[in-house]
Amino acid sequence: MHYKFFKKIIEAFGYKIIDKNLIKNERLLSQYSFLTLEKILENLFVNKEIQSIIQIGANDGERFDIINKFVKKYSPFTILIEPIKSNYESLKENYADQKNILYENLAISVDNEISELYKVKDEKINLYDEHIVGITSFNKNHLINHGVKKKHIVREKVNTISIKDLILKHSINDLDLLFIDTEGYDAKIVKDFLINSKLRPFIIFEYIHSNHYFFSETINMLIENEYILFKISENVVCFPKSKKEKIKFT
């Protein structure tokens, strides 16, 4: 009864409780799927299609991070964005021996609407599996839906920047890959990027926690901007139509 009531309140705000079995099943299937994100990325890097990257939500650069090995192997110019201070420090340590990397201890925000994020208290993180380290979110309920107890959640103030200002700050005139994993804020960032930038890189972003309204708007905008889309596991992979010949699955 309490669950149904809680579920109705969450959905009234445009969010939906994701069945944990669905997420677990998606991840299990992705381990054995012929078509993987790793294959797509390997093909792009091997063929020198990715020379520059912005990764938003880089976490510590190690846990569940598919970008890590490609950055270390191919050394593209990379900007790593991570707002949580402890993760940010670990991120720099994990890439300490790499060149061509810039770091930003920031959250990407649309219209300055984010000033803090929710995370598990440092002293309680060992009570959960390692995946929980990567579920920091602007939405407290995102953590609760993953089984985190309310009393173990803390808010952390973060500094923010818009994707437009980030691009201006670093004078980015060319970008090959925009990779986003922000636990539910992803679609908003993609939409804001398409509105405020003329760059049209390959885009990969997590969709599974996105609000349907914003996700739908973002998908429509991607199509309007002549992107080809397909889903791999929990991510949407977006290829500009001008580069559709680069889509190879072998």
Q: What is the pTM of this model?
A: 0.82
User: What is the predicted pLDDT for the residue at 6?
Assistant: 47
Q: Please return the burial class of 55, using the count of CB atoms within 10 Å of its CB with bins 0-12, 13-18 and 19+.
A: buried
Whether the predicted pLDDT of 153 surpasses 60: yes
| Structural domains of the chain sorted by starting position, each given as residue range(s) with its CATH number in brackets | 18-241 (3.40.50.150)
**Tens-digit pLDDT profile for residues 29-87:** 666 677 889 999 999 999 999 999 999 999 988 877 999 999 999 999 999 999 999 99
Whether the predicted pLDDT of 198 surpasses 50: yes
**Tens-digit pLDDT profile for residues 85-141:** 999 999 999 999 998 999 999 999 999 888 888 888 878 878 787 777 767 777 788
